[in-house]
Structure formats: structure tokens, C-alpha cells
Structure 1
Amino acid sequence: MKITVSGIHNGQPIPEQFAFGVPNADDRMSFGPNRNPEVSWDEVPEGTRSFVVIMFDPDVPSVADDVNQEGKTIPKDLPRVDFFHWLLVDIPADVRRIPEGEDSDGVIPKGKPVGAGPIGVRGVNNYTQFLAGNPDMAGTYAGYDGPCPPWNDERLHHYHFEVHALDVESLGLSGEFDGEAVRKAMAGHVLASARVTVTYTLNPELA
């Protein structure tokens, strides 16, 4: 199976139009356009009954105490964890494309609703946890929300866009399900997968 993310090349930086946060000389970071990129796929295996689309960042600090703190840096060798940016499940078997901006077009304070979206069923991304302590932004973030790595992180962040072809029409997930729930539900049902990896940073020393 092949995946194509329009305007994005494997191993290259993701354009700012797809980012939740963009560089700002005065405030370090400001909100970005936060549009989901166009994602398409082909060479689908026979027997496919649905698709899952996932985007995640495996380079997120496991300890967030120093994230975006003046006078501090997040060391490159700090252990990292997965941060899910996009979860769409139960995408019908006849779908081969998610248009740009279809699932996200701008930063929405307090998030987008879970459940059926424009295409497929939205899961909860990790901005739900990351922004929980911000009274202006706290909420349930579902569907796509793009990159916004810490501006003081010494590590370049990588973002994996994945599409998985499944042998079931539905994963049976509902409510506020997360990335780990999707991975667990997919186990044993994946016929084929494809991935594109891009990078992003808000650290001016790495840009």
C-alpha cells in the first residue's frame, strides 16, 4: 500500500500551514493555520473493509516540567513518548482521500467533538492532556491537531502519518478513545500499512 500526503515529502519539514504552533519572534510561538493535509492512498489489498489514519510524534518529552520554560532546555537524551495528533477510524473501504482542511481548519480552543467526523470516526488526540491545565484551552481535542513541539527542545521532532487497511468494517470504538485504544483494537486486523515521516521544530537553533 502507498500513502501520499500532499505538499509533504518523506524526511522533510512539514509546512507551517499544517501546524498547530508556528514560530513567533516576540512570543516564541503563536497559533498556526492548523489545517489537516490532504492524505490519499492506493494499492489497497483485497479484502479491505475499512481504514485507520493515525499521525503521531514519538519525540515528545516524557517529563513536561521544563516544556516552554524560559532559561531552560529539554535535553536531547530525555526519554520520549508517543503523542497522537490525529486518529480517524472506521473510514469506509471505498474512501481513498481525505481533502486538505476537511478534518481541521484552524486552532479551535477547547477542541473538536469526538465521534463521527467528515470522514470516519474521530478519536481523542493528546492535546486533551497537554492543554488540560490551561483554562482558556482545556477541553477534549478530537481529530487532527498539528505539530507544536516545545520551543526549548534540543531534539528535532518527527511526525508519522500512517494509513492502515483493516479486515473489519469497524473497530467498535466509541466515546473518548485514544491512540493506545486504537492500536490495541487494530491488532490482528491489519492487512497492510503505509507511512510518511516528516519533521518540525519551534526551536530557532534547530530550524
Structure 2
Amino acid sequence: MNKVIFMTAALSGLVSMSSNAFELTSQDIQEGKKIPQVFEFDGFGCSGENKSPQLQWADAPKGTKSFALTAYDPDAPSGSGWWHWSAFNIPASVSSLAQGADLTKLGATELKSDYGSVGFGGVCPPKGDNMHRYQFTVWALPVEKLDLNADVSSALAGFTVRSMAIGKAVLVAPYHR
């Protein structure tokens, strides 16, 4: 398992470091190592199994009442990146997700990915494109429930989550075809 980048942000938006690192790890993907093909999307010219990777996190900041999760490709040639997964209202008691997890079974809200389907949408950069960086982020939130519904865009949910997060843990893994 790999250590990941972490930040603990105070509600005022100032960054502080805590003695316990809020960290995100995975048994399926590793920081800086190519994502296995099983996590590739099945469609758009890709032929993976479209499974979400196993994820686990530890040492969430004090005051965490729920989590949000995003998977984002800033290198997608769309002009605005590509949202592969957006979910919020994950209970604070949850600290891991199994491979292929259905977050709605935990009471969380999953949004449509940029593929147009709800839940995880696997990696699928254009064939022959440069390496893409996939940013899996768990956000610690100071509220039990976000006042958003399942019809909002991932960008709006991302804006809301970033504006209130008290911490985040990030795992970045590359992929290309």
C-alpha cells in the first residue's frame, strides 16, 4: 500500500498539517503506477470491466461527519477534464470500499459520470494519447448530508465539496492505451 498526498484544511480555507496523515490507499491501484486494464471503461472504444478499484482511508480529520469521493482525469481532451466518479453523503463510519462498490447501498448519493451513467465510469483515454493522471480523492466533510440531489453535475458537487472540506486524501494513478 502506498502513502498518498494529504491536506487537512481548516474551515477557513487555511491549510494545516496534522500529526496523523489523512491517507488514501488501494489494494488495486498504486500511486504513480499504471492502472490495471480491469478498471478500464467498457465502451467508447475501451474494453475493460468498468470496475471501481478497492479503496481505503485512514486518519480522517477530527470533526469529519461524512465523506465525498471523486475520480477525475484532468488530462482528458475536453477542455474541462473528465469526471469518472462523484459521490457524497458517505457515512463517517465508512473507511473502505470494496472493488466494484455500489455506494448507494451505504446511503450515499452517486452522480452521473461524464459517460452519462450513474456510478463509477472506468478509465478510457483516447488511444495513442499521452499518459492521463486519474485523481481518486476522498474528501472529509463537517456535515452528515450535503444539501444536493442526484441531478446536480459533478462539477457543482465538486465545487460544493471543495468549499467545505476539512481534509482530503488523494491517490493519483496513470493510464494510457
TM-score interval, smaller chain: 0.7 to 0.9
CA contact (8 A) 1:165 1:191 kept: yes
Structure 1 position 42, deviation (Å): 0.6
Question: Which digits, 9 at most, give the CA deviation of each residue in 1:129-183, with x for residues without a partner?
Answer: xxxxxxxxxxxx1110110111142x21110000010001111111322221112
Q: Which residue matches 2:112?
A: 124
Describe the SS at the equivalent of 1:81.
coil
Describe the SS at the equivalent of 1:61.
coil
CA contact (8 A) 2:109 2:150 kept: no
Q: Distance in 2 between matches of 1:171 and 1:196?
A: 23
Seen in structure 2, the aligned counterparts of structure 1 residues 101 and 187 have a Cα distance that, compared at 3 Å, is closer
Q: Which residue matches 2:66?
A: 50
Q: Distance in 1 between matches of 2:46 and 2:135?
A: 23
Structure 1 position 188, deviation (Å): 3.5
Aligned residue-pair number? 155
Structure 1 position 198, deviation (Å): 0.6
Give the partner amino acid of 1:160. Q
Percent identity, aligned pairs only? Answer: 31
Structure 1 position 29, deviation (Å): 4.2
CA contact (8 A) 1:18 1:34 kept: yes
Q: Which residue matches 1:106?
A: none
Q: Distance in 1 between matches of 2:80 and 2:163?
A: 24
Describe the SS at the equivalent of 1:102.
coil
Instruction: In structure 2, list runs of 5 or more residues that go unmatched.
Output: 1-21
CA contact (8 A) 1:88 1:123 kept: yes
| Superposition TM-score, scaled by structure 2 size | 0.81
Structure 1 position 30, deviation (Å): 4.3
| Superposition TM-score, scaled by structure 1 size | 0.70
From the CA coordinates, give the structure whose radius of gyration is larger: 1
Q: Which residue matches 2:169?
A: 194
Q: Distance in 1 between matches of 2:86 and 2:104?
A: 11
Q: Does 1:14 align with 2:35?
A: yes
Give the partner amino acid of 1:118. K
Give the partner amino acid of 2:176. T
Q: Distance in 2 between matches of 1:99 and 1:195?
A: 17
Equivalent residue in structure 2 for 1:183, among 158, 161, 164: 158
